[in-house]
Structure 1
Amino acid sequence: MTYVDLKTSLQLFGLGERASLKEIKARHRGLVKRYHPDTGKDSDPEMIRNVNAAYQVLLDYVKEYRFSFAEEEFYEQNPEERIWQQFKTDPLWGGG
């Protein structure tokens, strides 16, 4: 997971930098009800796949009670991603 994945998921769910697990689950239920193929009106199977993928990203992030979605918090919780961001353009690390 990258910070971009996290931000994309938050935007899809319409959440800000802070949210509770309860808010995430409620928003997921609402989006699934809206786009589910059985509902008819706004049914969109591709959107359901996107919603479920975003939900999984958010659950993976908060499963250890990390409810701050700020970039600084993300890099604090995922130090390997911070290192990758620092050296991704270095040819020695595979960047170009």
Structure 2
Amino acid sequence: MSETIKNRYEFVVLFDVENGNPNGDPDAGNMPRIDPESGLGLVTDVCLKRKIRNYVETVKEEEPGFQIYIREDVPLNRSDRTACESLGIHETDEKKVTEGLK
């Protein structure tokens, strides 16, 4: 993946949930988000992004080019170090990886 994405990609995610809570509202005791006019459930963009990230992590696991940079319970310094090592930037005594990023 050395080439930068040059085009914009849009996609649609369709899913159906029956008797479930795909996107609970933490401000309302984790009750489902519901459109008051139609009575249909709502799913936020953040929830969809998390579902897609989880899917990519599950399906592609440690395959090169598919690692998620910002992950839960993983410090950014560790992600920085892993990314730099994959690009051939190695930490030395006089130069830290984070300084190499700057």
Normalising by the residue count of structure 2, what TM-score does the alignment of the two structures yield? 0.31
Instruction: Mark the structure with the bigger radius of gyration.
Output: 2
- What TM-score do the two structures reach when normalised by structure 1? 0.32
State the structure with bigger RCO (CA 8 A, min sep 6), 1 or 2: 1
Q: Flag the structure with higher helix content.
A: 1
